[in-house]
Amino acid sequence: MVLSVFLLAGVLVFSGCMENGVKDDSDAAEEIQDAGRGDEDVDFQIVKVFSRAFEPNGMIPAKYTCDGANVNPPLGFEDVPEEAESLVLIVDDPDASMGTFTHWVIWNIEPVSNIEEDSIPGVEGINDFRKMGYGGPCPSSGTHRYVFRVYALDRQLELKAGAGRKELENAMIGHILAEGELVGKYARS
């Protein structure tokens, strides 16, 4: 009888630990996604991101890649909240063989409706090429997706030029008013 009580108590304690102490990957992903928004989840907005150089999910012209001039493509934005104080742009390749590869991080962009081709509209950080600035698509094989994510923030960020993506993402926590993305594709010939 005493053994049964201990077994029952052990099962209850173990199940409580599993319920309260361990989260699955989807919970962790939601927490990361929500962290930047602070308490504004109810009023969260979507920014439309587009380019006159390529269609959504279309092929990115070689001009904007390592096989061309390797300059940033022109980007446009709609529905940026009026209260936005700055924009952040992060460009990455989620299909890279070693995991997501960051091609460009830039912040303190004026809350404008577009970014011109071959421009530096804000403060740039270090990309995964270990360089400051834009590094265009350059997949080793196959067709990769390139995600251009824009975030509208309620303030300018106090980060020095050359900061990395993690530092940028940490500085954005609690300040994201809206976000949006554009996906383009590229494959080398």
pLDDT tens-digit map of 25-72:
333 233 334 444 444 444 679 999 999 999 999 999 999 999 999 999
Angle (nearest 5°) at CA 59 between 56 and 62: 135
For residue 52, report the phi and psi dihedrals to the nearest 5 degrees.
Answer: -85, -5
pTM above 0.85, yes or no: no
Average pLDDT, the chain: 84
- From residue 112, give the alpha-carbon distance in Å to each of 41, 90, 108: 23, 16, 11
How far apart (Å, rounded) are the C-alpha atoms in residues 179 and 79? 10
How far apart (Å, rounded) are the C-alpha atoms in residues 109 and 157? 10
Average the pLDDT over 175-186 and give the result.
Answer: 98
Closest residue by Cα to residue 106 from 55, 82, 67, 72: 72
Whether residue 10 is predicted with pLDDT greater than 70 in this model: the reply is no
Q: Tell me what pLDDT residue 189 has.
A: 84
Q: Answer whether 161's CB lies under 8 Å from 123's CB.
A: yes
Q: Tell me what pLDDT residue 111 has.
A: 96
pLDDT in tens, 94-133: 999 999 999 999 999 999 999 999 999 999 999 999 999 9
Average the pLDDT over 80-102 and give the result.
Answer: 97
Q: Please state the three-class secondary structure of the chain as a single string.
A: CHHHHHHHHHHHHHHHHHHHHCCCHHHHHHHHHHHCCCCCHHHCEECEEECCCCCCCCECCHHHCCCCCCCCCCEEEECCCCCCCEEEEEEEECCCCCCCEEEEEEEEECCCCEECCCCCCCEECECCCCCECCCCCCCCCCEEEEEEEEEEECCCCCCCCCCCHHHHHHHHCCCEEEEEEEEEEEECC
Whether residue 8 is predicted with pLDDT greater than 80 in this model: the reply is no
Burial class (CB in 10 A: 0-12, 13-18, 19+), 165: middle
Q: Tell me what pLDDT residue 17 has.
A: 36
Confidence grade of residue 153 (pLDDT, cut at 50, 70, 90): very high
β-strands 143-153, 48-50: how paired? unpaired
CATH topology of domain 39-187: Phosphatidylethanolamine-binding Protein (3.90.280)
